[in-house]
Amino acid sequence: MTAMRDRPRVPEPDGNVPAGGRADPDDGRYDVIRLDRFLCEAGAGTRSQAKALIKAGRVSVDGERAISADLKIEENRTRVLLDGRPLFLPGNVYYLLNKPAGVITAASDARERTVMDLLKEAPGRGLFPVGRLDRDTVGLLLITNDGALSHRLLSPSRHVEKRYLVRTARPVTEEMCRFLEAGVDIGDEKPTLPARTERLKDEPCGLYLTITEGRYHQVKRMLAAAGNEVTGLKRVSMGPLSLEETLPEGAWRELTKEERNALGV
Ligand code: URA
């Protein structure tokens, strides 16, 4: 029993995202395994204990009570619960979220709705967002439990490119672009590193801006220094990852094998 494949997970009205398809299954150690082996690997006991748990009706698979130990379980796709609690295979997981406006980028928060609330159904322990987008910024956010990858992507010395679609209050001029590209004094100790710009063809009040740092409110402060003002901000890529148009805001998907290869994970 498996969930749908190749389909973005769109939030339900309560903001949760239905469990579902991996865009490109991993052909590594797991991918597809029998339910009894899944239970063992996830720490539920020996093979015979796993079989006993199934027989006792304590295991559910994608919402239905499991009755057979040889049910095929797809790693990171099929949702397996033991006594109502989700079980996970060990290992790192990688999700790309199209962050909507109005949620904060934090692993958890007592009062505010966080990006992690949108991935409640995503398999994996210890998930956290890589980097931060402002509450009103939308777009690409990587969610993982791979601390080493997060460190690599966020390390200032790596200069990982982040590309933003920026909408502005006033038209973007060529002079503004040259100003942003050269590096901008935004009130920090050092000016920003050189950036790339690309004006939008059919919209005077917008541009693509590619930066290689991750300073606090960096894009907004750069545009303010250029005499303009950000009215809308969307991250469209980060390193080798790009946000596709078809992933709705609030939806997430697993990284494809190609994307994982590009990240070296
Ligand atoms: N720069 C900003 O100003 N805000 C973001 O969310 C990301 C980059």
Q: What is the per-residue pLDDT across 143-184, written as a single tens digit (0 to 9) for each?
A: 999 999 999 999 999 999 999 999 999 999 999 999 999 999
pTM: 0.78
What separation in Å is there between the alpha carbon of 244 and the centre of ligand 1?
19
| Ligand 1 atom 4 nearest Cα | 217
Q: Pick the residue with more confidence: 30 or 100?
A: 100
In a domain, 18, yes or no: no
146 tagged catalytic:
no
Chain centre to alpha carbon of residue 237: 11
In a domain, 227, yes or no: yes
Q: Give me the chain's average pLDDT, please.
A: 89
Q: Which position has the token pair 């239970």?
A: 39
Domain enclosing residue 226, as ranges = 161-238
With beta carbons less than 8 A apart as the criterion, state whether 255 and 263 touch.
yes
51, 70, 86 - which closes a domain:
86
Say how far apart CA 188 and CA 191 lie, in whole Å: 7
- The number of the ligand 1 atom at minimal distance from the alpha carbon of 136 is 6
Letter string b/e over residues 173-187, b meaning 16 or more CB atoms within 10 A of that residue's CB: eeebbebbeeebebe
- The number of the ligand 1 atom at minimal distance from the alpha carbon of 222 is 3
| Ligand 1 atom 7 nearest Cα | 133
Say how far apart CA 152 and CA 158 lie, in whole Å: 7
Position 83 scores a pLDDT of 96
86, 103, 131 - which closes a domain:
86
In a domain, 232, yes or no: yes
Instruction: Compute the radius of gyration of the chain from its Cα atoms.
Output: 22
Position 91 scores a pLDDT of 85
Whether the predicted pLDDT of 4 surpasses 50: no
Say how far apart CA 95 and CA 21 lie, in whole Å: 12
In a domain, 191, yes or no: yes
| Ligand 1 atom 3 nearest Cα | 217
In a domain, 82, yes or no: yes
Position 181 scores a pLDDT of 98
Which of 97, 98, 133 has most ligand 1 atoms within 8 Å of its beta carbon, as the pocket-test mutant? 133
In a domain, 134, yes or no: no
Whether the predicted pLDDT of 185 surpasses 60: yes
Tokens standing for residue 15: 């903001």
* Cα atoms in the Cβ-side hemisphere of radius 13 Å centred on 61: 23
With beta carbons less than 8 A apart as the criterion, state whether 66 and 59 touch.
yes
CA distances from 79 to 1, 86, 175 (A): 10, 7, 53
Whether the predicted pLDDT of 249 surpasses 90: yes
What separation in Å is there between the alpha carbon of 170 and the centre of ligand 1?
18
Which of 219, 223, 229, 235 has most ligand 1 atoms within 8 Å of its beta carbon, as the pocket-test mutant? 219
Residues present in the chain in total: 265
Q: How many CB atoms lie within 10 A of CB 244?
A: 11
In a domain, 78, yes or no: yes
What separation in Å is there between the alpha carbon of 230 and the centre of ligand 1?
10
In a domain, 234, yes or no: yes
Q: How many helices (H) and strands (E) does the chain have?
A: 6, 15
What separation in Å is there between the alpha carbon of 160 and the centre of ligand 1?
15
CATH code at position 182: 3.30.70.1560
Q: Which of 83, 134, 185, 202 is catalytic?
A: 134
CATH code at position 57: 3.10.290.10
Residues in the ligand 1 pocket, defined by CB under 6 Å: 133-134, 137, 217-220, 233
The single-letter code of the amino acid at 131 is: G
- The number of the ligand 1 atom at minimal distance from the alpha carbon of 217 is 3
Say how far apart CA 33 and CA 88 lie, in whole Å: 13
Position 30 scores a pLDDT of 65
Q: Could you read off the pLDDT of 15-44 as tens digits, one per residue?
A: 333 333 333 333 345 678 999 999 998 889
Split into its structural domains, the chain has a count of 2
What separation in Å is there between the alpha carbon of 102 and the centre of ligand 1?
14
Position 124 scores a pLDDT of 82
